[in-house]
Each structure stands twice: as structure tokens, then as C-alpha cells.
Amino acid sequence: MPEFNVKEENGKITEIKVLRGAPCGATWKAAIKVIGLPVDKAIVRIGLEAQFFCSADPASWDPITEKSPVHVAGKLHSTMLQKELRHI
């Protein structure tokens, strides 16, 4: 699970540090993309950016979850950023 330390001012992400991320490096690349965004948009955007940078095979569809590993990565990044922002 990704883990973040986030600073927010006036409803926007001003700083984000990745404490734990994906082995492929997608978390660090995605985190850079959300700096300056409003919090609500950053939560969605980090998931999309993680998917863009994810090196997992998107064709590797899991019949049980009905999701690819890329979709799972995006959801995890969004969920964990949202969780961190609740603590601020």
C-alpha cells in the first residue's frame, strides 16, 4: 500500500512525500503530478497518474476481482491519499 505525507494549504496540495510506494516507481511520478491541485481533484488524479506510470500488465485481468492490476494500483493510490488527507 502506498503511504504519503501531505501538506495542504487553502484546499490545495502544496507538498507530498512518498513514504512507501510501488516498486516500479509509479507512486513517486504520480505524486509530483498532484502538487498544486485542489484536494478533491488530487485524490482522483493520483489514481490516474499511478495507472499511467504503472508497469504492470494491464491485460492481466483477474476474473475474481474483475480488475486488472493497473486498475487496482490506481484505486489503492487514490484511497491512500484520501486516507492521509483525512488526518490533516
What pTM did the predictor assign? 0.89
Model confidence pLDDT, tens digit, residues 16-25: 999 999 999 9
Q: State the Cα–Cα distance between residues 34 and 54, nearest whole angstrom.
A: 16
- Domains of the chain with CATH codes: 3-86 (3.90.1010)
Give the pLDDT score at 84.
96
Model confidence pLDDT, tens digit, residues 46-85: 999 999 999 888 888 888 878 899 999 999 999 999 999 9
Rounded to the nearest 10 degrees, how much is the dihedral formed by the CA atoms of 78, 80, 86, 88?
A: -110
Q: Which amino acid is at 31?
A: A
